[in-house]
Chains A and B, each alone.
Chain A
């Protein structure tokens, strides 16, 4: 202890800070101060949270560099890194995943989105074997993957809450069913373009297994029909966002089921669902009335912009008429036709240009130049 005080009293006032520091580091080996933390001898002993913080300010490739510097940094990163993206990898993603997954076993969020399809089943199997804490996995555009990947994930990553397999056209519906029977905590599922996987059968399995589902993208899944969506509506009451764009088979029955069973629905995509008629619109408009339980609820929900539909895409739904759509607009104050917050999308529906949200009407009344009713 004495040596420290001696050192301090000899502390130079200018310039010699480095020399002082060197001396202190040397003298520290003679004995530790009580209560002081572990003596750090240099950059290799950088505390884990500090190293992680610095690396997070660079990029994910730096994670690879930094974990190759020394054992201290490698261990800190492998213990502490929970989020990793390899989407920047243009050519060697498969090799890197196979090499890194066994080390980064604490990963919770992993993005392997590809521009050029590279990922193979072997890499996903390695992820499934080592990263059991995985919650969020992005495998979008993994054209080369087969059902083997889904089976591996079902066994290795049961805690998945978010999975993006959009564009993975090779997956079958039985493999997807299998996955959902093991990954029951799924809240967010992106199946956009998964024509083979997203069948009515698969939707029934999802309805059965994944009751916490909130976000589902079924864009361009042409095989989806009312049967699947109705099951979904009853099995997943927590649905907030459902994209049925391009699901040409569905009819009003699907929308009625959603209106009745999913009170938290905020965003609905019906682009190109040309079988949809006014009946679907009225069921949505009336669902707002039905969901009011008590006086307090109704008071709250009428003023609460966050309740009820915020986004509705009915582009190309040419059977719809203005009164029906206006009824929906009136029921949900968060739906907007005004340019600033445009959330009611009616492209290709020339007859619907007279529909207005409450704020567009107000500004019209205020005498400002009326908004040009434009169809896209």
Chain B
């Protein structure tokens, strides 16, 4: 499991570094400064009237570890997208419910999906990507996708899990996921009855 260095950089959170971060500019500021400089006697083009979007986004995991990614990659999560686009300039974006290795995996997924060619079918790649993960990581990744509101990752992980449990019966699901039965005897009996009816064809 290699961490690709070209787009995902993990940095320590240090004082000097924050000055290098590109923060979205306040639109009023942009207009005023251009006016003062006297550079534009022509009309300010529409694009510069919108808040400038940073090229890179900084994400902060549960452990306060930071990841720098391209904006397009991060926009696959609604939480990240909203944090950037609503102009609050919240940078880094805190993702307190997501631990660093899980966030790294999510980023790996998003990056692959952004880099995909037009109409490229990624189902095989997705399956291999998720199939490589242990159950615990899969669980955490699904939960993280849910929390970060990333439709692409959520759909993928849920479908993967759904396919695993498709034909399973109660005991098999418990076994596979290591879940202990915590029903009373009576509840367990009723459950078995229901399942017997459901599977009798």
Please state if B170 and A14 are interface contacts (CB–CB under 8 Å). Answer: no
> A61, A62, A65: which has the most chain B beta carbons within 10 Å?
A65
Residues of A within 8 A of B154 (CB): 53
Provide a sorted-by-A list of 17 A–B residue pairs whose CB atoms are within 8 angstroms: A13-B2, A20-B101, A21-B134, A40-B140, A42-B179, A44-B177, A46-B142, A46-B143, A54-B158, A57-B158, A58-B165, A61-B199, A69-B173, A69-B174, A70-B182, A71-B183, A99-B194
Q: Is B115 an interface residue (CB 8 A)?
A: no
Q: A14-B1, A65-B169, A70-B183 are in contact. List 7 more A-B contacts (CB 8 A).
A: A37-B96, A37-B97, A40-B139, A43-B178, A46-B139, A50-B158, A53-B154
Q: Is B126 an interface residue (CB 8 A)?
A: no
Produce 1/0 per residue, B160-201, CB < 8 A to A. 011001101110011001111111000000111111011111
Q: Is A8 an interface residue (CB 8 A)?
A: yes
Q: Is A47 an interface residue (CB 8 A)?
A: yes
Smallest CB separation, B142 vs chain A (Å): 6
Q: Is A92 an interface residue (CB 8 A)?
A: yes
The range of chain A's interface size is 35 or more
Q: Find A21's partner among B136, B169, B199 (CB 8 Å cutoff).
A: B136
Residues of A within 8 A of B1 (CB): 13-15, 17
> B101, B166, B194, B198: which has the most chain A beta carbons within 10 Å?
B198
Known: A15-B1, A96-B198. A35 touches B146 (CB 8 A): no
Q: Is A349 an interface residue (CB 8 A)?
A: no
Q: Is A66 an interface residue (CB 8 A)?
A: yes
The answer for the CA separation of A64 and B193 in the assembled complex, in Å, is: 11
Smallest CB separation, A39 vs chain B (Å): 10
Q: Is A144 an interface residue (CB 8 A)?
A: no
Residues of B within 8 A of A15 (CB): 1
Q: Is B114 an interface residue (CB 8 A)?
A: no
Known: A4-B63, A5-B63, A21-B136. A69 touches B179 (CB 8 A): yes
Q: Is A370 an interface residue (CB 8 A)?
A: no
Q: Is B88 an interface residue (CB 8 A)?
A: no
Q: Find B177's partner among A11, A36, A43, A61 (CB 8 Å cutoff).
A: A43
Please state if B143 and A65 are interface contacts (CB–CB under 8 Å). Answer: no
Q: Is A18 an interface residue (CB 8 A)?
A: yes
The answer for the CA separation of A95 and B154 in the assembled complex, in Å, is: 35
Please state if A62 and B166 are interface contacts (CB–CB under 8 Å). Answer: yes
The answer for the CA separation of A4 and B166 in the assembled complex, in Å, is: 37
The answer for the CA separation of A95 and B190 in the assembled complex, in Å, is: 11
Q: Is A304 an interface residue (CB 8 A)?
A: no
Q: Is B137 an interface residue (CB 8 A)?
A: yes
Residues of A within 8 A of B159 (CB): 57
Please state if A17 and B165 are interface contacts (CB–CB under 8 Å). Answer: no
Q: Find B201's partner among A20, A36, A54, A91 (CB 8 Å cutoff).
A: A91
Residues of A within 8 A of B169 (CB): 65
Residues of A within 8 A of B173 (CB): 65-66, 69
